[in-house]
Homo-oligomer: A and B are copies of this chain.
């Protein structure tokens, strides 16, 4: 099922499988755009809910779109904001037509509709837009998951119609992805995927996973979806995940991933390496003058030692967050790039097995 493909956008081709760094508020935390390019990022995420509230659509329109506003010329995918409306805002009512919510910043009232979030994403000028969906929580009763999915499908249809009725902005094409929901219920996932395929989206996301369900259920639901989704269109598993999750999902036919894990874990001194995860606060690294990851060619690994990084974290220096972010994103981007090479070389299964073996290692080296 593993595929090596290309997502074509007006701002450049994206080789897949690909990991997409998360720039929720119009910035990937603790890393500069030029450093994202250096790390190998081909596309980053922005979030419609966050950007709509702050700085607001109007300012980004005046800037000439999100790319110009944030100084990033490569593709951007914007999440629709559905997830954040349901998880982050003070939700004030959901109806057939949309959702009312209070901003988590200042309590101001807002409303998102399927058409509205397409309009906002047109204003942002993202290369890949997402439909408005309801991401069901886990656990979730079957009857709730089913009803929620029906609503999501009606919204998807309306987003698709709005996309068809409106033009791309700023001189670059904008494409729209549908989002498969259905919690951990295979028949709801099937119904969702088939209905979305019929709507002829440019690509398909698998949403509502990595929200607390067992990892086996996540893989099973992913397979249910990828069995149905058309081979010629990109598949994006939202919010996933660990390196192991990414490898297993590539094996199930997923092309695109996003997750805050590399950046957030990095800011907490957890580094991903080709020989396992390490917590840089551990006392063992106090006099370890080797790089984070001898196999890595990122700026952090070229110029700095574990001992120095440990010192920076202990001394609460901002530079610690910068260097950790550079390394962890470089690692994630190396991982998806390596998966692609293995697929193209017809070596994916052996590559997967050897990667999973080392990635399961959490180096046990003393707690400080």
Least CB separation from A71: chain B residue: B303
Closest 9 CB pairs of A and B: A30-B318, A55-B311, A25-B315, A27-B319, A27-B317, A71-B303, A71-B304, A62-B287, A29-B318
Residues A54 and B315 in contact in the complex (CB < 8 Å), given A59-B307, A305-B63:
yes
Q: How far is the CA of A70 from the CA of B318 in the complex (A)?
A: 14
B311 touches A29 (CB 8 A): no
A314: interface (CB < 8 Å)? yes
| A interface majority secondary structure | helix
A289: chain B residues within 8 A (beta carbon): 62-63
Task: Name the residue in A27, A70, A287, A289 with the highest tally of chain B Cβ atoms < 10 Å from its Cβ.
Answer: A27
A321 touches B318 (CB 8 A): yes
A323: interface (CB < 8 Å)? yes
Q: Copy number of this protein in the oligomer? A: 2
Q: How far is the CA of A62 from the CA of B32 in the complex (A)?
A: 32
Set B27, B63, B299: member contacting A32, Cβ < 8 A: B299
A26: chain B residues within 8 A (beta carbon): 308, 311-312, 315
The smallest beta-carbon distance between A46 and chain B, in angstroms, is: 12
Interface residues of A in 296-335 (CB under 8 A from B): 299, 303-305, 307-308, 310-312, 314-315, 317-319, 321-323
Least CB separation from A311: chain B residue: B55
Set B55, B70, B317: member contacting A286, Cβ < 8 A: B55
The smallest beta-carbon distance between A31 and chain B, in angstroms, is: 7
The smallest beta-carbon distance between A313 and chain B, in angstroms, is: 11
A59: chain B residues within 8 A (beta carbon): 286-287, 307, 311
Set B31, B317, B323: member contacting A25, Cβ < 8 A: B317
A315: chain B residues within 8 A (beta carbon): 25-27, 50, 54-55
Set B32, B54, B69, B286: member contacting A319, Cβ < 8 A: B32
Q: How far is the CA of A59 from the CA of B321 in the complex (A)?
A: 21
Residues A27 and B287 in contact in the complex (CB < 8 Å), given A34-B299, A299-B32, A307-B55:
no
Q: How far is the CA of A321 from the CA of B319 in the complex (A)?
A: 11
The smallest beta-carbon distance between A73 and chain B, in angstroms, is: 10
Least CB separation from A26: chain B residue: B311
A33: interface (CB < 8 Å)? yes
Q: Enumerate 17 A-B pairs (CB-CB under 8 Å) in ascending A order.
A: A27-B319, A28-B319, A29-B319, A32-B299, A32-B323, A34-B299, A50-B315, A54-B311, A54-B314, A54-B315, A55-B315, A63-B305, A69-B308, A70-B308, A71-B304, A71-B308, A322-B322
Binary interface encoding of chain A residues 152-168 relative to chain B, with 1 for a CB under 8 A from any of its CBs, else 0: 00000000000000000
A323: chain B residues within 8 A (beta carbon): 32
A30 touches B319 (CB 8 A): yes
A70: chain B residues within 8 A (beta carbon): 308
Interface residues of A in 47-65 (CB under 8 A from B): 50, 54-55, 59, 62-63
Binary interface encoding of chain A residues 223-241 relative to chain B, with 1 for a CB under 8 A from any of its CBs, else 0: 0000000000000000000
A318 touches B318 (CB 8 A): yes
Q: How far is the CA of A308 from the CA of B319 in the complex (A)?
A: 22
Q: How far is the CA of A115 from the CA of B69 in the complex (A)?
A: 55
A62: chain B residues within 8 A (beta carbon): 287, 289, 307
The smallest beta-carbon distance between A321 and chain B, in angstroms, is: 6
Set B29, B308, B312: member contacting A317, Cβ < 8 A: B29
